[in-house]
């Protein structure tokens, strides 16, 4: 038996094709991007260092200048992250708490609130595009309000914010469901005990329910932060071509319109680093502050 | 006492109905738009039910004008071939990594799961170098779709595969079944629920993918997401047909969700860690 399960040849047959394929398509390109980001010209053979330019692109990326839009793009992505964390997540939490309390029509609401998540982001963006370009001006006109001169997506200052709305709207259902699932898995007797002790409503939510689902909150936070830095589909569909107001858009335009492959690679690496830094930060933030686990442990001790 | 309607309960329902409206309105609007003509959409009736139900918009989007039918076929092919490969490779790899016993299996497992943290953006340009010659075929999308979805598939499968008792293999081994037969005829059938969970997640990822699809497809293999994005530019004047295109593109995922909503929700919860 043991011999069969540790047969080297069959292990290779099972594992090797996937590992090689995965390495070639996912891992190898990332290191290649990293290498490219350090060159001033592509193509250069791996190991050919004559085009090596070190961290030049990374410095250019953050050199303030009128024509350098990348720092602004990074700020926009941080603004989106802030909106997601401070507006979208609390709102989703609010819905999840209400639903977890078991109102009438609980599962119907949950199922319908989740519908936007399964719809393609292109469809969602195009619909919101029609809303901004068609319906909203019509509503404004019929109410006698002034429509912005170039339309809602024509104002350089506000269009990026409007392009945030569809994906914020779309993923409320996702966060709601994640939190709802976690809330539902809190043992009934914990809630009962807290209720007997006089906790209810907001107190129950903030003292018991939310602390107990911290692990899931971490998942939601990392999902929304990483999503912010990678945000691409919605603004790409909604905004005009060659918009560079977000890191991923900027990278795309530099790469495929301006053909500055090396420079765009540096931006891509920056996006990866940004995701990595925030993932690590979240892990540190949530380390050993596992209040839910502590509560459970204490309950076990008492029992 | 529980059945009484208090102020709190009514407010709760009002709030829930408000968000229900916010979730459903775009869908309702999309469907009604798909049955109107442009003058009605821009005229007196932007949000009401259509005065005349113009099913012709669908024929227009599906057939001659929009070629949604082509895009649909391409999306179906790409999605199902990708699903087949991710399931097969994912299962084999998960089996070898988590079921069999060898040195370094933890290292390789971690190596693959780390791939989940990496956004596709980071591999974009080198991927174009690898895939540019394939853009007239479906492989230009299937290859990266499979590769990038293998980690999440293995992660979802890992929770199930480690729970299967080893007696399964022992019994099969005593009966003289080889390792491959055991894996594919005994363990694989037991993994079907997990495979479905993973497959639904991958299905939604692949079906809705835009970035790679817009880079690596030429006209004959264009997928739905890119197709309808292009259509929206092309159909500037015919919003009814554009609406019909959107409905057609949304239908498969919506039908899947309606038929097995709890399964879809389970899949997306399982895939949440991907970020």
Number of domains in chain A: 1
Query: Comparing A104-108, B8-12, B210-214, B270-274, which segment has the lowest mean pLDDT?
Result: B270-274
Quote the distance between the C-alpha of residue A154 and its chain's center. Answer: 26
Residue window 163-202, chain B: list those with CB within 8 Å of chain A: 169-170, 173, 178-180, 183
Interchain CB distance below 8 Å, A6 and B100: yes
Would you state the structure tokens that stand for residue A66, as one six-digit string?
Answer: 């009128």
Query: Does the interface predicted TM-score (ipTM) exceed 0.95?
Result: no
Domain boundary assignment for chain B: 7-60, 67-274
Q: Are A208 and A190 in contact (CB under 8 A)?
A: yes
> What CATH number does the domain containing A107 carry?
1.10.3720.10
Interchain CB distance below 8 Å, A271 and B24: no
Tens-place pLDDT, residues B57-75:
888 888 765 588 889 999 9
User: Min CA distance, A294 vs chain B (Å)?
Assistant: 23
Q: What is the mean pLDDT of each run of 10 residues along chain A (303 residues)?
A: 81 94 94 89 64 84 83 94 96 95 90 94 91 84 79 81 93 94 90 85 87 91 91 90 89 90 92 90 78 59 57
SS3 A39: strand
Q: Are A237 and A125 in contact (CB under 8 A)?
A: yes
Residue window 229-268, chain B: list those with CB within 8 Å of chain A: 229, 232, 239, 242, 246, 249-250, 253-254, 256-257, 261, 264-265, 268
Residues 6 or more apart in contact with residue A93 via CB below 8 angstroms: A175, A176, A179, A210
Residues in A touching B169 (Cβ below 8 Å): 1, 4-5
Decide if A193 is inside a domain.
yes
CA distance A5 to A21: 23
Decide if A229 is inside a domain.
yes
Burial level of B261, CB count in 10 A (0-12/13-18/19+)?
Answer: middle
Which residue carries 């010659």 as its tokens? B133
Would you state the structure tokens that stand for residue B69, as one six-digit string?
Answer: 């039918």
> b/e per residue, B184-211, with b = 16+ CB within 10 A?
eebbbeebeebbbbbbbbbbbbbbbbbb
pTM for this predicted structure: 0.89
B67-274, which class in CATH? mainly alpha
Tens-place pLDDT, residues B221-237:
999 999 888 887 765 66
Kindly calculate the radius of gyration of chain A based on its CA atoms and give it in whole angstroms: 24
Q: Is the pLDDT of residue B1 over 50?
A: no
Interchain CB distance below 8 Å, B95 and A181: no
Q: What confidence score (pLDDT) does residue A45 get?
A: 59
Nearest CA in chain A to B203: A118
Tens-place pLDDT, residues B43-58:
777 777 887 888 888 8
Decide if A172 is inside a domain.
yes
A128 lies within 8 A of chain B by CB? yes
CA distance B44 to A138: 10
User: Min CA distance, A243 vs chain B (Å)?
Assistant: 15
Q: What confidence score (pLDDT) does residue B271 get?
A: 83
Residues 6 or more apart in contact with residue A271 via CB below 8 angstroms: A229, A230, A247, A248, A251, B119, B121, B122
User: Min CA distance, B16 vs chain A (Å)?
Assistant: 7
Q: Which domain holds residue A225?
A: 70-302
A85: nearest Cα among A193, A168, A23: A168
Q: What confidence score (pLDDT) does residue B195 get?
A: 95
A278 lies within 8 A of chain B by CB? no
């Amino acid at each position: 038996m043991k011999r069969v399960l540790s047969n080297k040849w069959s292990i290779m047959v099972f594992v090797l094709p996937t590992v090689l394929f995965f390495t070639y398509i996912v891992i190898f390109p990332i290191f290649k991007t990293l290498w490219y980001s350090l060159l001033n010209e592509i193509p250069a053979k791996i190991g050919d260092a004559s085009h090596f330019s070190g961290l030049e692109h990374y410095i250019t990326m953050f050199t303030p200048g009128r024509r350098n839009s990348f720092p602004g793009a990074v700020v926009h992505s941080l603004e989106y992250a802030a909106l997601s964390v401070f507006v979208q997540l609390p709102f989703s939490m609010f819905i999840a708490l209400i639903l977890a309390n078991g109102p009438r029509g609980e599962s119907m609401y949950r199922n319908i609130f989740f519908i936007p998540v399964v719809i393609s982001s292109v469809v969602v963006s195009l619909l919101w595009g029609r809303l901004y370009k068609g319906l909203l001006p019509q509503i404004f006109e019929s109410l006698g309000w002034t429509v912005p001169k170039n339309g809602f997506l024509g104002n350089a200052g506000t269009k990026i914010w409007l392009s945030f709305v569809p994906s914020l709207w779309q993923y409320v259902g996702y966060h709601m469901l994640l939190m709802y699932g976690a809330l539902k898995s809190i043992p009934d007797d914990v809630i009962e005990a807290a209720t007997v002790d006089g906790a209810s409503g907001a107190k129950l939510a903030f003292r018991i329910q939310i602390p107990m689902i911290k692990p899931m909150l971490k998942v939601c936070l990392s999902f929304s932060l990483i999503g912010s830095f990678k945000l691409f589909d919605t603004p790409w569909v909604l905004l005009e071509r060659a918009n560079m107001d977000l890191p991923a858009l900027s990278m795309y335009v530099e790469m495929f319109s301006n053909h500055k492959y090396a420079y765009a690679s540096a931006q891509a690496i920056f996006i990866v680093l940004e995701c990595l830094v925030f993932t690590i930060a979240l892990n540190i933030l949530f380390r050993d502050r596992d209040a839910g686990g502590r509560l459970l442990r204490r309950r076990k001790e008492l029992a | 006492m529980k059945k009484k309607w208090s102020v709190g309960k009514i407010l709760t329902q009002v709030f829930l109905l408000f968000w229900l409206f916010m979730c459903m309105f775009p869908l309702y609007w999309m469907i009604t738009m798909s049955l109107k003509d442009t003058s009605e959409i821009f005229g007196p009736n932007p949000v009401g039910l259509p005065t005349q139900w113009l099913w012709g918009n669908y024929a227009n989007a599906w057939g001659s004008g929009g070629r949604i039918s082509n895009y649909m076929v391409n999306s179906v092919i790409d999605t199902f071939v990708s699903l087949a490969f991710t399931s097969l490779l994912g299962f084999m790899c998960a089996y070898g990594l988590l079921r069999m016993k060898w040195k370094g299996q933890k290292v390789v497992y971690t190596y693959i799961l780390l791939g989940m943290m990496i956004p596709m953006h980071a591999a974009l340009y080198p991927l174009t170098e690898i895939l540019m010659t394939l853009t007239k075929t479906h492989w230009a999308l299937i290859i990266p779709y499979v590769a990038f979805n293998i980690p999440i598939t293995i992660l979802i499968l890992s929770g199930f595969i480690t729970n299967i008792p080893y007696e399964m293999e022992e019994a099969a081994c005593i009966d003289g079944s080889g390792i491959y037969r055991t894996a594919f005829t005994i363990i694989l059938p037991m993994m079907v629920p997990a495979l479905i969970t993973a497959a639904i997640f991958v299905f939604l990822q692949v079906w809705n993918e835009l970035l790679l699809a817009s880079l690596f497809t030429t006209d004959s293999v264009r997928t739905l997401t890119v197709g309808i994005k292009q259509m929206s530019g092309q159909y500037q004047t015919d919003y009814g047909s554009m609406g019909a295109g959107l409905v057609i593109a949304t239908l498969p995922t919506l039908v899947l969700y309606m038929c097995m909503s709890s399964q879809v929700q389970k899949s997306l919860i399982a895939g949440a860690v991907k970020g």
